[in-house]
Structure 1
Amino acid sequence: MTFAHRAHAMPFGAALLPGGGARFRLWAPAHAQVDLECDGAPQRPMWREPGGWHVLEVPAAGAGTRYRFALPDGLRVPDPASRHQPEDVHGPSEVVDPAAHRWTDAGWRGRPWAEAVVYELHIGAFTSEGSFLAAIERLPHLAALGVTALQIMPVADFPGNRNWGYDGVLPFAPDASYGRPEDLKALVQAAHGLGLMVLLDVVYNHFGPEGAYLHAIAPQAFTDRHSTPWGAALNFDGPDSGPVRDYFIHNALYWIEEFHLDGLRLDAVHAILDDSPRHVLDELAERVRAAVPDRPVHLVLENEENQAARLVPALYTAQWNDDAHHVLHVAATGERSGYYADYQGNTELLGRALSEGFAFQGEMMPYRGHPRGEPSAVLPPTAFIAFIQNHDQIGNRAFGDRLSHIAPQAALRAVASVALLLPQIPMLFMGEEWAAAQPFPFFCDFGPELADAVREGRRAEFARFPEFADPATRERIPDPLAEATFASAKLGWEDLTKPAHAETLAWYRSILAVRHAEIIPRLPGIRHGGTWQVLAPGAVEIAWSLEGGGTLRLRANLSDTPLASTPETGRVIWQEGEGFGPWSTCWSIEESA
């Protein structure tokens, strides 16, 4: 067997030296002197170099050495580029030999994006053990389901033992509650062995509120010229922004090269604020593409602004399509709270989101109070990722209700049959494939300084909704700090033996088999959005032209009102419901003559 060794060279952090020992390098421009502490030994002063860098080589250091830096005021801090934090974010960092892992997937060359069937999962809640290694045991289930890509929620080291991952503070260190870095590598390797791609969710728009020692190490990394909903904005465009840009670009390269990942999902890029001539997002994508020319790397965006111009194939592969979710969710549930009100009863937005990608393409969005989006019909459908559930849309509900908890089964199957066969790329949220009974509430594990504020803030967030106007009702909202809230989110794999769940799983396997047989082979030939028409309130017909002639057609009645049916002109590949009755969909293909 051929083994590969992978390591990404970084200009900061701890690096093992060829002749033994390790070099430690820290950007701390605010400090004239920084000391290094290794394995609890007396602190040693580091050399200050131009540009605010502090460097020291330690001959006795090696893999397993625990270290931290001491600032002039005595504060001892972990390495912002730490590869492992065995004692969590407030403890010392550990020197890791990235080349020690013996990779067995040297022949893996990735998969084209058109083949993607994405499965979003949270490592801690995916299994009862909540670890990288435990997740490996469930990969055969995903392969048999028809999934071809895992999308793992953020694993960057966060405070405490449980977190969604968006409060990370050490972007290079997989959280120790999930295992060691080599355990994540083992998961990626096992996935590749089953033909599964692995994408990782990364957060480059802010640091979490606890354990972000970079504020003390290098305050120049932040700026008051911009702001984000979650705290201080990162300095991507002002004085001293060069090392900050490099820090995150190297993070992307690190995950792709050192962990052999197939791509990244960049969280909330609308909050990555950069007024420089070359936006950091462009530079990041260009450097990733240049570094990995021999296999597909898929860079996925979450972008509230729906900027179609960012979805250039040479840079960014696709974007989460929240609009597709919203039109399908509103159809299935009838909900109209918050931003759902902008989609309720608007069948034109349903047709547009399913056929062209974005529902709002520059028009005023009342909930936001300003225009949203850009024209997107010219983009290929694979530039969008469609879903009926994800961590946000479930977990941002007060009780973490899944769609299967709140929508009738007929409505659920109808909208799922749309999302899973759309020429857009489908994504499932873990457990969706068997209508998991477990919710996915918001959870975290902050220290006592933040716990009460987070707990009360969560309840206050829902106070503006009429259904939570009663304080007693708000008190029922699960405490995000309670371990029981996290435990409630863990998937109950034993439920797969129950008839109702087994029947749902069989349905998902069947429809994904149709996707693989009928939709995926045709996706490279669908080069732009479809044409659509409203047939009745909640009912649309959409047609996508196929390369070489022919048409992929969807007729969907996402309402509880029966409609007059007309004969299908093509070969039916999936029928949900009866005729054109309530909650019915029909997918057909008309071949060219």
Structure 2
Amino acid sequence: MRRVHSMPFGAEITPDGVRFALWAPTAHEVGLVLNNAELPMTSDDEGWYRLVSQDARAGSRYGYKIDGNLVVPDPASRFQPDDVHGLSLIVDPGSYSWSDTSWMGRPWEEAVLYEIHVGTATPEGTYAGLMAKLENLRDLGVTAIELMPIGEFPGQRNWGYDGVLPYAPDAAYGSPNDLKRLVDRAHALGLMVFLDVVYNHFGPSGNYLHAYAKTFFTERHPTPWGAGINVDGEGSRIVRDFFFHNALYWLEEFHFDGLRFDAVHAIVDDGEPHFIEELANRIREALPGRQIHLVLENEANQARWLGRDGEQQPRLHTAQWADDIHNSWHALLTGENEGYYEDYANRPLEHLGRALAEGFAYQGDRSPHKSGVVRGEPSGHLHPTAFVSFLQNHDQVGNRAFGERLSHLIPPERLSLAQGIFLLSPQIPLIFMGEEWSASTPFQFFVDFENDPDLAKAVRDGRRGEFKRFKAFTDPEMSQRIPDPTDRTTFERSRLDWSETELPPYRETLSQTRRLLDLRQTDIVPLLKSEYHGSRITISSEKALDVTWTFASGTLRLLANFSDGPVSGIMDEDARVLWSSSTSIVSAGSGLQLLPWTAIIMKGMSA
């Protein structure tokens, strides 16, 4: 089977030759640079420049000369062998023959996500290297891998959020066909594949859109990265379509099963329908027969995008990253209270309980960290699977000064307690690569701006400046200890060491993760596939958390003691214990006594 996504942008192979199309509304003239020659392109009233060439073919290099002097890559380039400033390469997407012809995806309720940075996940740092680890992940109980952004970024190492050519899988990881082989192999093993995409900004190096499409951006909506993307002003129809086609391109041409949309709260849209709404509708309309899962990162906590229809299917987006769950856990486990943890540190258990029971902790509440700004919408009516839960992810680890994992910060007993509750709660769990064995390696912030020393210095100084507001880094000497993100050794320190999984104590942690994921598939997933009837939560003065989720096929109950003394509890009459964090939990008939920092999860019959 061949898969090709047709789009109005870029270079497309047709029976008449290769069609080139560039939207350059603020350029005066555009020429196609091909085979060491320049060919004039014709324009229309909407700013499109087009040309069909019979001399071009798959493997040819090309670019666009803007106003007679600047040669730029194609913003819809399918591949950039020579990085973001080089010429683009014509790709024949039909050259790959897929073997996963019967693959239609997996139900969302079965998802156990595993977040991966391709460059540091394996010694090779490539799609091919990652492909060799897929069986390990399948055997662990992972059902979906989620790749951090892979759109072409400057240099050879980057988290991916500095991408500037969103259609081109980064050449540092392999070719487009290498990526397709990874997806194909994952599907053969029953694994879904998700991709993190960035539609809120472009990186600081290699974005040439300003040179010929100034209206792609707008000063009306400033962002932390500069002028906002123009999704609601003059010319915004083409801008919106550029991103909508990008989403469909990954889902169709590369057969991804889902997308995670980065920081959609930074996409400001004063029009109707909102960008977020139209994005989901376009995808759902184009791919009605497949199980496609769309996940938001949305600091605004907007429940409006996450509703289900009468058949319990997502109307728009499938789920949202549950930052409130993570932040509450982190404040509770570590006692940290600076930065955005300020919003959770005052009442961490209360915030955690509300987030576990209802998805959002902030549901129209004022944020101390944001000077009292109201954040969030009511979310208790949403199915728990509308939220992706995590104890760690690339942000929460990598945005620490030294990239420490949670296992580096708290005792293993408390981590084990949190892991059990996290993996057996009804939200969709996301594991950050290496978390399953408490990897010793950090995950630090790294970039590669070797060709731009001024930018490299700005990033280096900016990274250290970010932490000056934290007490630990007010001392300039301490600030200088923060790893240099432009140094290759920072990247190398972040590479996983898979040999650890054969050694204690990593081996035992991995075994525990496997047991929990087995339990999730046998006992939690069947509940999630039935109708959700809501939750009930109580928090005692002794810091005992009691949450019950009720489904048509049964109940799930968490009883946890986060105090320094024992607390008593009552078992449900028809419940059986799925998991407990300690063998020292005392049970006498229907009574329980939970020792400090212990928990039990029970499953009950349907009413």
Tell me the TM-score normalized by structure 2: 0.95
Contact preservation (8 Å) 1:396, 1:441: yes
How far off is 1:537 after superposition? 5.0
Cα displacement string for residues 188-237 of structure 1 (whole angstroms, at most 9, x for unaligned residues) = 00110110000100000000011001111211100011011112201000
Which residue among 369, 379, 382 is the counterpart of 1:379? 382
Give the secondary-structure state (helix, strand or coil) at the position aligned to 2:246: helix
User: Partners in 1 of 2:469 and 2:606 — Cα distance?
Assistant: 54
How far off is 1:144 after superposition? 0.5
Q: Where in structure 2 are the equivalents of 1:306-455 lying within 5 Å? A: 306-312=301-307, 313-346=314-347, 347-369=349-371, 370-446=373-449, 447-455=452-460
- Counterpart in 1 of 2:576? 571
Cα displacement string for residues 410-445 of structure 1 (whole angstroms, at most 9, x for unaligned residues) = 111111111111111011000000000000011111
How far off is 1:44 after superposition? 1.1
Q: 1:208 to 1:274 in 2, by over 3 A?
A: same
Q: Does 1:493 align with 2:498?
A: yes
Q: Where in structure 2 are the equivalents of 1:513-524 lying within 5 Å? A: 513-524=518-529
Which residue among 479, 488, 495 is the counterpart of 1:474? 479
Which residue among 13, 17, 30 is the counterpart of 1:16? 13
Corresponding letter in the other structure for 1:363: D
Contact preservation (8 Å) 1:345, 1:537: no
Give the secondary-structure state (helix, strand or coil) at the position aligned to 1:249: helix
How far off is 1:584 after superposition? 1.1
- Tell me, which stretches of 5 or more residues in structure 2 are unaligned? 308-313, 586-593
- Counterpart in 2 of 1:591? 605
Contact preservation (8 Å) 1:32, 1:48: no
Cα displacement string for residues 305-324 of structure 1 (whole angstroms, at most 9, x for unaligned residues) = 00001113121000000000
User: Partners in 2 of 1:244 and 1:560 — Cα distance?
Assistant: 56
Give the secondary-structure state (helix, strand or coil) at the position aligned to 1:190: helix
Contact preservation (8 Å) 1:544, 1:553: yes
Q: 1:106 to 1:43 in 2, by over 3 A?
A: same
User: Partners in 1 of 2:496 and 2:454 — Cα distance?
Assistant: 30
- Counterpart in 2 of 1:168? 163
- Counterpart in 2 of 1:530? 535
Q: 1:366 to 1:79 in 2, by over 3 A?
A: same
User: Partners in 1 of 2:122 and 2:541 — Cα distance?
Assistant: 44
What's the % identity of the aligned pairs?
53
Corresponding letter in the other structure for 1:314: R
Q: 1:54 to 1:430 in 2, by over 3 A?
A: same
Which residue among 228, 233, 243 is the counterpart of 2:228? 233
Corresponding letter in the other structure for 2:18: A
Q: 1:528 to 1:216 in 2, by over 3 A?
A: farther
Q: 1:537 to 1:63 in 2, by over 3 A?
A: farther
How far off is 1:373 after superposition? 0.6
How far off is 1:73 after superposition? 4.7
Contact preservation (8 Å) 1:530, 1:543: yes
Contact preservation (8 Å) 2:153, 2:162: yes
Tell me which moved more, 89-98 or 327-336. Answer: 327-336
User: Partners in 1 of 2:199 and 2:477 — Cα distance?
Assistant: 38
Give the secondary-structure state (helix, strand or coil) at the position aligned to 2:505: helix
User: Partners in 1 of 2:30 and 2:93 — Cα distance?
Assistant: 26
Which residue among 111, 122, 125 is the counterpart of 1:130? 125
Tell me which moved more, 357-366 or 347-356. Answer: 347-356
How far off is 1:279 after superposition? 1.1
Tell me how many residue pairs correspond in the alignment: 587
Contact preservation (8 Å) 2:534, 2:551: no
How far off is 1:260 after superposition? 0.4
User: Partners in 1 of 2:15 and 2:532 — Cα distance?
Assistant: 50
Tell me which moved more, 192-201 or 47-56. Answer: 47-56
Cα displacement string for residues 277-296 of structure 1 (whole angstroms, at most 9, x for unaligned residues) = 21121111111111111111
Tell me which moved more, 92-101 or 528-537. Answer: 528-537
Corresponding letter in the other structure for 1:198: V
How far off is 1:52 after superposition? 0.4
Corresponding letter in the other structure for 1:6: R
Contact preservation (8 Å) 1:381, 1:528: no
How far off is 1:345 after superposition? 4.7
- Counterpart in 2 of 1:219? 214
User: Partners in 1 of 2:564 and 2:338 — Cα distance?
Assistant: 21
Cα displacement string for residues 356-393 of structure 1 (whole angstroms, at most 9, x for unaligned residues) = 00001001111112111110000000000110000000
Tell me the TM-score normalized by structure 1: 0.97
Give the secondary-structure state (helix, strand or coil) at the position aligned to 1:343: helix
How far off is 1:567 after superposition? 4.5
Which residue among 4, 21, 42 is the counterpart of 1:25? 21
User: Partners in 1 of 2:543 and 2:344 — Cα distance?
Assistant: 11
Tell me which moved more, 571-580 or 108-117. Answer: 571-580
Give the secondary-structure state (helix, strand or coil) at the position aligned to 1:553: strand
Q: Does 1:63 align with 2:58?
A: yes
Give the secondary-structure state (helix, strand or coil) at the position aligned to 2:4: coil
User: Partners in 1 of 2:566 and 2:346 — Cα distance?
Assistant: 17
Which residue among 189, 200, 208 is the counterpart of 2:195? 200
Q: 1:388 to 1:559 in 2, by over 3 A?
A: farther
User: Partners in 1 of 2:442 and 2:406 — Cα distance?
Assistant: 10
Contact preservation (8 Å) 1:85, 1:92: yes
- Counterpart in 2 of 1:83? 78
Q: 1:60 to 1:353 in 2, by over 3 A?
A: same
Q: Does 1:256 align with 2:261?
A: no
Corresponding letter in the other structure for 2:484: D
Q: RMSD over aligned Cα, in angstroms?
A: 1.2
Contact preservation (8 Å) 2:30, 2:68: no
User: Partners in 2 of 1:294 and 1:338 — Cα distance?
Assistant: 43
User: Partners in 2 of 1:484 and 1:250 — Cα distance?
Assistant: 37
User: Partners in 1 of 2:333 and 2:421 — Cα distance?
Assistant: 12
Contact preservation (8 Å) 1:236, 1:245: yes
Give the secondary-structure state (helix, strand or coil) at the position aligned to 2:154: coil
Tell me which moved more, 282-291 or 431-440. Answer: 282-291
Tell me which moved more, 324-333 or 339-348. Answer: 339-348
Cα displacement string for residues 232-259 of structure 1 (whole angstroms, at most 9, x for unaligned residues) = 2010000111110110000000000000
User: Partners in 2 of 1:527 and 1:564 — Cα distance?
Assistant: 28
How far off is 1:528 after superposition? 5.0
Contact preservation (8 Å) 2:533, 2:551: no
Which residue among 276, 290, 293 is the counterpart of 1:281? 276
Q: 1:537 to 1:166 in 2, by over 3 A?
A: farther
Give the secondary-structure state (helix, strand or coil) at the position aligned to 1:472: helix
- Tell me, which stretches of 5 or more residues in structure 1 are unaligned? none
Q: 1:102 to 1:28 in 2, by over 3 A?
A: same
Q: 1:559 to 1:100 in 2, by over 3 A?
A: farther
User: Partners in 2 of 1:105 and 1:177 — Cα distance?
Assistant: 26
Q: Does 1:272 align with 2:274?
A: no
Corresponding letter in the other structure for 1:7: V
Contact preservation (8 Å) 1:332, 1:408: no
Cα displacement string for residues 446-469 of structure 1 (whole angstroms, at most 9, x for unaligned residues) = 221200110001001001111111
Corresponding letter in the other structure for 1:339: Y
Corresponding letter in the other structure for 1:32: H
Q: 1:394 to 1:84 in 2, by over 3 A?
A: same
Q: 1:327 to 1:528 in 2, by over 3 A?
A: farther
User: Partners in 2 of 1:237 and 1:395 — Cα distance?
Assistant: 33
Corresponding letter in the other structure for 1:37: V
